[in-house]
Every structure is written in structure tokens, then in C-alpha cells.
Amino acid sequence: MTFVRACGLSELEDDTPKRVELDGTPVSVVKTEGEVFAIYDICSHANVSLSEGEVEDCQIECWLHGSSFDLRTGKPSGLPATRPVPVYPVKIEGDDVLVSLTQES
């Protein structure tokens, strides 16, 4: 599994998504509840950036239609989205947040 640097841990604010692009893939990196998650940044229902939405209870909400996605699994918790979005493995080395584009789900 190959990990690439997405951002610095010090760049992340709690419950505030940060959009990064890794090898052409849009990824939202989120620090919440003491953990860091990486999720594909495009809503599976509408082609909009999830990183512009709000984070609560380990879920990220699409700002356009209100679907929320679990940051751990990528599964939607409500309509109109019905398809999950990919989530990616994360590891922390010092201040570096490293993400592997190999999907966890």
C-alpha cells in the first residue's frame, strides 16, 4: 500500500473538511472525534464537493441536498444519496497526514 502526503495535521481544524487532490483524485481529509479520515470528495448523488459540507457525529453532509456519508465507511445515511463513496486508509507520521488511494470500502 502506497501512502502519499495529503496535508499537515496542524493544518486540520476539528470538524472542518480540507479538500486535497492526490494523483488527480479529489479527497476530503477530516479530523473529528480524535481521528483523521479521508473520503472521496465528490457526492455520489450530485457532482459536488463534500468538503464544502458540515461534519457531525463522524459524518460529512453534502451541502447541496443534505445526504450524509459515514467517514469510516463512506455509506450514505439518508436520501437522496443511495451509493457509498470511497474511503481511504490514513496514517499519521509526525505532522504529516498520509493517505493511500487504495480504497478501504
In this prediction the pTM is: 0.93
- Secondary structure element (H or E) that encloses residue 63, with its range: none
34-49 average pLDDT score? 95
Judge contact between 87 and 100, C-beta under 8 A.
no
83-103 average pLDDT score? 94
Round to the nearest angstrom and report the end-to-end CA distance of the chain: 15
**Residue 69 forms part of a structural domain:** yes
Which CATH number belongs to the domain containing residue 29 in this structure? 2.102.10.10
Domain that holds residue 43: 4-91
What span, in angstroms and rounded, lies between the C-alpha atoms of 89 and 35? 12
Give how far the C-alpha of residue 64 lies from the chain's centroid of Cα atoms, to the nearest Å. Answer: 16
Q: Which residue has the cell 472525534?
A: 33
pLDDT interval class at 33 (50, 70, 90)? very high
